[in-house]
Structure 1
């Protein structure tokens, strides 16, 4: 199995964000299975023609999202992220609901705000 990533140089999206998004998509879709060992930061940077710091930044963001895990000198692997992502999403949704209630917003107003934020994020 190979990591299939291309970085679009002319894109308005930062290279680290392109890398983060592509690895995340492949991990969540199963194209990169749980336990798949990712290339080293330096190795992937050389392969993609990126600075090592760019790849390291993407890896840190993916680890913070629970998509990958670093096992010290053993390397970096795709994590079982589904459960972690679902827990994080539930916590964020709960925090949003609590905040909306404290602000005195109705359920409909909170739902409308959430829908507007989702539309902005996904469009």
Structure 2
């Protein structure tokens, strides 16, 4: 099995929303750390469970972060699930290429008539 493409993996979680949330958390925590000279924290948790007896897994992804503020901190967390397939190319959203040609020319269900 090939290694999972990490950029594609995070981009697929919750249709790309999770990757955007991580970006926001990293920026907010970084800004708070620099502005208030206090420690911040970003925690990403991924839990995997098999779906039935298939080659599909449910990935529970959670983002939890703490932004330092002048008088303390503010925190936020979010959690959702995304199903993915375990394929020879690693973890992927689709088992097969959804944009691949369904039939080749010889297998077309309608045979063209000669003019």
Q: What's the TM-score once normalised by structure 1's chain length? A: 0.24
Larger radius of gyration between Structure 1 and Structure 2: 2
Q: What's the TM-score once normalised by structure 2's chain length? A: 0.25
